[in-house]
Amino acid sequence: MTTALWCVLVAALLPFVFTITAKSSKRYKNTTPREYLEQSSGWRKRAHWVQVNSFEAFPPFAAAVVIAHVVAGPSATANLLAVLFIVLRVVYGICYIANQATLRSLVWFGSMACVIGLFVVASHGTA
């Protein structure tokens, strides 16, 4: 399996890191997790928003990696873009939790550029 394909697994699990972060409180009750998250505030609320955004970012990334592999085959460029996506998504989460809106948005654009880059990799594999 390629590095890029392993990154799909990492990206699938990454939202749960932010979920655990958002729920890290003695007041958290597993009987009503959504209610707790909706009523949270500050950095815990932002960690919840990172979780939601991470779930939203996963499908296009996973599709892009798979499409790049199917159309163009494994490549160092796809691996690099996939790793960069993961790194940027972690930085994105940190920026979000730290309430750094402008930097967070720039990092988000960078991660989406990686997804687009994976489609570009696939486009070079077509005849």
Share of the chain above pLDDT 90, in %: 85
Q: 10 Å Cβ neighbour count for 15?
A: 20
pLDDT of residue 30: 85
Contacts of 78 (CB under 8 A, 6+ apart): 2, 4, 65, 68, 69, 72, 118, 121
Angle between helices 42-72 and 3-22 (to 10 degrees): 170
Task: From the options 1.10.20.140, 1.25.40.10, 1.20.120.550, 1.10.1740.10, give the CATH code of 3-123.
Answer: 1.20.120.550
Q: Helix-strand-coil percent breakdown of the chain, rounded to 5?
A: 80, 0, 20
Mean pLDDT rounded to a whole number for the chain:
95
Amino acid letter, residue 5: L
Summarize the confidence of residues 98-118 as an average pLDDT: 98
Write down the pLDDT at residue 69.
Answer: 96
Mean pLDDT computed over 118-122: 96
pLDDT at 28 over 80: yes
